[in-house]
Amino acid sequence: MRTSSTHGTRWILASLVVALAGCSSGAAGTNVDQDAKATLELWTRTTPGGPGEQGTQRLVAAFEKATGYKVKVTAIFDDFETKLQQRAAQKDLPDIVMNDVTQLGTMQSQGLLREIDLGKLASGKDLADRALASGKGVDGKQYGVPYSAQASALLIRRDWREKLGLKAPKSWAELAVMAKAFTEKDPDGNGQNDTYGLAAPLSTKRGYASWYFSNFLWAAGGDFVTDAGGGKFKPAMSSAESAAAVQWFRDLGCKDKVIQPGAVTMDTPPTNETFEAGRAGMYVVGPYLMPRFDKSLGKDKYEVVPMPKGAKNADVLAEGGAIYLMAGSPNNAGQDAFASFATSAEGQKVGMEGDVAYIVQLPVNKTVDIGQVRPDPRWKTFAEIYQTSGHYAPSLPNWTPVRQTAAETVNALVADCGLDLKGELQKLDTKLAAILAEQGVAAS
């Protein structure tokens, strides 16, 4: 999950960037002299020198060997979006950006991306429809090629569950029963009242509260905003389905008191520590934390199961990384070749290699059997969840302010159990309507 600056600042910059990018490249960079031998500049949003950069370098080396194209990799984590804006102002964008799928709307609305012709990608026919849909803009055109996917599952302390004689929950009611048992029945056997049922990052920082809550909202049939057709949206947090999901989740903290203390001030790092330190028995999260928990907690201590069915379905948050082909590149052929290789069976397998330095969580290429690459059955569980229940956030021009504004309300309702839920959700919808209007995608 990524976020950036406030939507007001972003949209002030947008007008400038659209003009600059458009002047340098045209709609798809067609007025730039092409040179198929030009080195491709690739930016990846990851920590310099870290596992993400190592995995990217390994993929690039395989690409260069297979195709003959040359690529220069730059890893940036801090101020990534600001630095990209600076390069746009200089009319010198990198050729390729690897970033979250949720950044598509922002970059596309600023004129930084060229439309992708899937017919020019040899791997295009093999890509999962669910993944491809996440790479489409609000206008229905393809602007991103997802290369990695992930979806949330429920991690449970297996040893706690077995000690208390419980089965993995299949419904929200059973999840609540397990959460209460983990909180009240001393599952770690230390004689102390120091365990809780559910670890949850509910801070407003970077919109974590709504990011995490989406795993419950969508399963209940609710939504932050709903598609009204024609590229228009309307707010939906005060709908009956959304309100019921908020009420149920709020009760976990306010009535049952099964969420870890201080959750409303926690983002993911301290929440991860809560789970691995044995202070909470369940955690809804993606596959990327398994290597960490295997080492810190022990592979035998916890299990990975699908989220229990909500009021409507078992939809959970789907996310991932996408390849963006930037406008104004002098090497469109090289851009297409990289996108094709990274999403090919060979590229996907290279991206999945390693215990830590891998950049592909779940493959987006339908011909890749994750069980053949990663025999650990937990990975197959995550893959099946993604295929059947993965739910991406919509490709608004800018998703960040929706997530952030919703997070502030979810956080407030859990932090202050006396707030009027219906009234707060109605206020939230008013704010969401203003955000959609500002972005030009509000339904009339």
Domains of the chain (ranges; CATH) run 7-151+318-379 (3.40.190.10), 153-317+398-438 (3.40.190.10)
Confidence check: pLDDT of 144 > 60: yes
Return the pLDDT at 8.
37
What pLDDT was estimated at residue 11? 36
**In whole angstroms, what is the distance from residue 392 CA to residue 397 CA?**
15
| CB-CB contact of 198 with 283 (8 Å) | yes
* Mean pLDDT of the 134-158 span: 97
Kindly tell me if the per-residue pLDDT of 204 is higher than 60: yes
Q: pLDDT tier at 371 (50, 70, 90 boundaries)?
A: very high
At 48, is the secondary structure helix, strand, or coil? coil
Q: Is the pLDDT of residue 19 over 60?
A: no
Q: At what angle do helices 208-217 and 240-254 cross, to 10 degrees?
A: 110
| Integer Cα distance of 270 and 279 in angstroms | 11
CA 207, CA 402: separation in Å to the nearest integer?
A: 9
User: pLDDT confidence of 369, banded at 50, 70, 90?
Assistant: very high
For the stretch 312-347, pLDDT in tens is 999 999 999 999 999 999 999 999 999 999 999 999
Cα–Cα distance for residue pair 364/181, rounded to 1 Å? 38
Whole-angstrom Cα distance, residue 322 to residue 143? 9
Positive or negative: CA dihedral 95, 98, 102, 103: negative
Q: Strand order in 153-157's β-sheet?
A: 196-199, 280-285, 153-157, 302-305
Per-residue DSSP letters for 383-403?
Answer: HHHHHHHEEPPP--S--HHHH
Q: Report DSSP state, residue 40.
A: E
Q: How many CB atoms lie within 10 A of CB 260?
A: 23
Q: Is the pLDDT reported for residue 376 higher than 80?
A: yes
pLDDT at 359 exceeding the cut of 80: yes
Please answer whether residues 422 and 430 qualify as being in contact, where contact means their C-beta atoms are separated by less than 8 angstroms: no
3-state DSSP of 266-317: CCHHHHHHHHHCCCEEEEEECHHHHHHHHHHHHHHHEEEECCCECCCCCCEE
What pLDDT was estimated at residue 22? 41
Residue 20: which pLDDT band, with cuts at 50, 70 and 90?
Answer: very low
**Are residues 25 and 32 in contact, defined by beta-carbon separation less than 8 angstroms?**
yes
Distance in Å from the first CA to the final CA of the chain? 30
Cα gap 377→2, rounded to integer Å: 29
> How confident is the model over 83-129, as pLDDT tens digits?
999 999 999 999 999 999 999 999 999 999 999 999 999 999 999 99
pLDDT at 391 over 90: yes
| pLDDT tens digits along 110-121 | 999 999 999 999
Reference 147, options 294, 283, 281, 344; nearest CA is 344
Q: From CA 34, how far away is CA 218, in angstroms rounded?
A: 45
133 CB-side CA count, 13 A? 10
Secondary structure class of 134 (helix, strand, coil):
helix
Q: How many CA atoms lie within 13 A of 273 on its CB side?
A: 7
Q: Is the pLDDT of residue 3 over 50?
A: no
Half-sphere exposure of 321 (CA within 13 A, CB side): 25
Confidence of residue 356 (pLDDT cuts 50, 70, 90): confident
pLDDT in the model for residue 9: 34
3-state DSSP of 3-18: CCCCHHHHHHHHHHHH
Query: Across the chain, what does the average pLDDT equal?
Result: 93
Interval 263-308: pLDDT, tens: 999 999 999 999 999 999 999 999 999 999 999 999 999 999 999 9
Task: Count other Cβ atoms within 10 Å, centred on residue 4.
Answer: 19
Report the share of the chain in percent with pLDDT over 90.
92
Dihedral, CA of residue 376, residue 382, residue 387 and residue 389, to nearest 10: 160
Quote the pLDDT of residue 21. 39
- What is the rounded CA–CA span in Å between residue 3 and residue 438? 18
Tell me what pLDDT residue 289 has: 96
248-262 confidence digits (pLDDT tens): 999 999 999 999 999
Q: Given a cut of 90, is residue 6 above it in pLDDT? A: no
Kindly state the average pLDDT of the residues 8-34. 47
